[in-house]
Amino acid sequence: MRKPVVGVIGNSHLVEDRFEVQIVSEQNLRAVAEVAGALPLMFAGCPEVTEIGALLDAVDGVVLAGARANVHPSRFRVEPDPRHEPYDVNRDDLALSLAQACVARRVPIFGICRGLQEINVAFGGSLHPEIRELPGRLNHRMPRLENGEIHPDLNVVFGERHDVRLVQGGVFARLLGCETIRVNSLHGQGILEPGERIIVEGVAEDGTIEAIRIADAPAFALGVQWHAEYDPQRNPVNRALFEAFGEALQLRRRAA
């Protein structure tokens, strides 16, 4: 039996201020290949290029990976602010519809960072444009040096920074075999109001929603706010999530 195929969404990017490209972090591709046991296939986060029905005919699962760009606030009825740019409206157009289609067609879907936010918005939820501006919240952005530059050491950037409390008896707690985990943190936006069918399964120590599932989804349909793709080869929490995703892919392939 051939390996399952996983579509990993691309992000709009401009090279040398003129060449439009689609990019995907290699960490996402390696996590799918090395831990989920599937063949990663990047697809364009652009509705003019990627037709959802054809995509879901070709893949056994979808990863909505993280990205630098934020979900455009108009998607959850908020006025945009230049402080919260950049945006990737093409990806918004595709990802929000794709999240709904995956659930409807029983295609496993795993949302990571922006992907969690997209799943929430797709089902009617809202986001806060900058979690750290809320009273009592941690700064969930990646670590920076005193001069404002991103820390040069990736082990620091993706280092574990806060705890997440999991719902007792929930899907995440069962998968991970515990009720408290420690995760990295690299995001500005975060869930404000959960959407319809969005079940909160994990919350950071400051109240930020970190893990969700879609109620009554017929296949794997989970989202995490942290970057689980960074180190699932070594990190037992992230490994368990990608392995569970891989098992769901195998079930999908056998049922096809």
CA-nearest of 200, 28, 36, 22 to 94 is: 22
φ/ψ region of 118 (left if φ > 0, alpha if ψ in -120 to 50, else beta) reads alpha
CA 237/CA 234 separation, integer angstroms: 9
Nearest 5°: phi and psi at 74? -60, -20
In angstroms, the Cα distances linking 81 to 34, 119, 157 are 39, 22, 26
Write down the residue that tokens 């455009």 correspond to.
72
Judge whether 122 and 100 are in contact, CB under 8 Å: yes
CA-nearest of 47, 27, 45 to 36 is: 27
Among all residues, which ones are annotated catalytic? 113, 227, 229
CA-nearest of 212, 219, 246 to 31 is: 246
